[in-house]
Amino acid sequence: MTIPDLALDPRAVRLRDALGARILLPGDDGFDAARMPWNVAFDQRPIAVARPETAEDVVDVVRAAVAAGLRIAPQATGHAAGALAGTALGDVVLVSLAGLRGAVVDPVARTARVLGGSQWNDVLEAAAPHGLTALHGSAGDVGVVGYSLSGGLSFYARAHGLAINSVRAVQVVLADGALVRASRDEHPDLFWALRGGSGAFGIVVSIELDLLAQPEVFAGMLLWDASRAAEVSAAWAAFTRAAPESATTTLRILHFPPMPDLPPFLSGRDLVVVDGAILESDEGAATLLEPLRALGPEVDTFAPMPAAALVQVHLDPPGPTPALTAHVVLGGLPDDAVSKFVEIGTAPGLFITELRHLGGAIRRPALDGGAVTAIDGEYLAHTIAVVPVPEAAVQAAAAVQAGIAAFSPWRVDALALTFVDGPLVDRSHGFGTALGRLREIKAAVDPDGVFVAAHPV
């Protein structure tokens, strides 16, 4: 094993002395694989990577990093690596929590205790045998902590609100190495701050969540050729204006390249898709969908399904993907905004142009919640471009930014923090009036700014 830079950086030497093989340094076997995030468009170059497997490991890593004068970035999967990209990582230990996974369900209390690096699939697997599910997002491999502590928009959200309000307790390692449990009764200020401030306050080793009694869900997708985008988009907009809070759906225009791994109905196709969940009886849901089904979709998978299968309906990528994204929150979706969506979505440049229906319980602040409890808007416009080679990044960034800029007339001062994916985004619209108190609590529990997070406070 050769470690070319190690002799030059005494901080790395101190880490190795304290942690031995529990830390990976540049030049170590496995360092390059360990520093790669899910979003492989971002080339993270930390001074070291730690891969703790227990809460005690996390305590040791925090103490060793602080003693060596280094900062710390917790990361579970790297789905939000783009948001962290604004931070220079030369003095940062990346703490990959990928080895700290697992979920235990209490079926009587309807709660789950979930380890800090767990993905939603871990929770769904543990919850499904009890007829329970969680307020997970569209993809099963997203991290529970990063998603839940920054908001968390699920297909249950218009009925049940943001996932952040389902967090009951958080076990976290602070900058002084203390492992504390934060809940309404223990460290209540920290508990408030974590629910929004997320990884800016410490490394979460486990989290306790309320679950939903939902063995089955009426969910699926409707798919048409993108040549139908204008009429489908107008029909979806009308559907959402009248939809009850039980329906949470999205509208997307997608452009798939020809790829042998894709099923024929996707490969090389330009498509318009409506998907989501409707928490009604099968008959009630079918009645709501009638105007969309009347447009004769080429594929229609809406049906009752096991709740754990909901992570399949949104066609998220099955593994690490290099992508750039941007979003804005909209106050409404008048007809000219729908036309703009179609214009942007059908023009070349973007892989996906998406509208998510917000409103309902997503918009209502939770009474005893944390720093972030709601998103004050009716729709979220989201643009996604793939970055197949690094040289494509400039063009991709321009495409996603131009896409959301076109929604400016309908934009409101709100953000979905989980959808913030770039270093230059002003997070203050996501934190709102909570920002001042978040900064006070950060100064009290992490006065030296040890923790660097995807969404700094």
Q: Which of these ranges, 68-76, 103-111, 122-130, 423-431, lies near ligand FAD under the rule CB under 6 A?
A: 68-76
Angle at 68 between CA 12 and CA 36, to 5 degrees: 50
Q: How far is the CB of 41 from ligand FAD (least distance, A)?
A: 11
Minimum separation from the CB atom of position 336 to ligand FAD (A): 27
Q: What ranges make up the beta strands (E) of 317-405?
A: 323-330, 352-357, 379-386
Told to check if 46 binds ligand FAD by CB under 6 A, we report no
Structure tokens at 374: 């709601």
Part in contact with ligand FAD (CB under 6 A); list of ranges 13-21, 80-88, 209-217, 433-441: 80-88
CB contact set of 224 (below 8 Å; sequence gap of 6+): 232, 271, 272, 273, 295, 296, 297, 298
Strands 92-96 and 48-50, bridge-based pairing: parallel
How many residues sit close enough to ligand FAD to count as binding (CB under 6 A)? 32
453 binds ligand FAD, rule: CB under 6 A? yes
As a whole number of angstroms, the distance between CA 447 and CA 439 comes to 10
- In the complex, the smallest distance separating the C-beta of residue 31 from ligand FAD, rounded to whole angstroms, is 18
Touching ligand FAD, residues 347-386 (CB under 6 A): none
78 binding ligand FAD? (CB under 6 A) = yes
How far apart CA 287 and CA 277 sit, in angstroms, is 14
Instruction: Select from 72, 203, 308, 328 the one that contacts ligand FAD (CB under 6 A).
Output: 203
Residue with Cβ nearer ligand FAD (26 or 199): 199
CB atoms within 10 A of CB 205: 24
Return the closest-CA partner of residue 163 out of 187, 144, 142, 188. 144
Residue 427 Cβ vs ligand FAD, minimum distance, rounded to whole Å = 12
How far apart CA 263 and CA 285 sit, in angstroms, is 28
Query: CA–CA separation, 437 vs 149, rounded Å?
Result: 16
Nearer to ligand FAD, 9 or 315 (CB): 315
Strand pairing partners for 253? 272, 353
Among 222, 418, 441, 457, binds ligand FAD (CB under 6 A): 418
- The residue from 48, 126, 204, 425 that contacts ligand FAD (CB under 6 A) is 204
Q: What residues between 87 and 116 interact with ligand FAD by CB under 6 A?
A: 97, 116
Interface pattern 116-155 for ligand FAD (x via CB under 6 A): x--------------------xxx--xx-xxx--xxxx--
φ, ψ of residue 381 to 5 degrees: the values are -100, 130
Which residues form the interface with ligand FAD (CB under 6 A)? 74-81, 84, 97, 116, 137-139, 142-143, 145-147, 150-153, 198-199, 203-204, 316-317, 418, 453-454
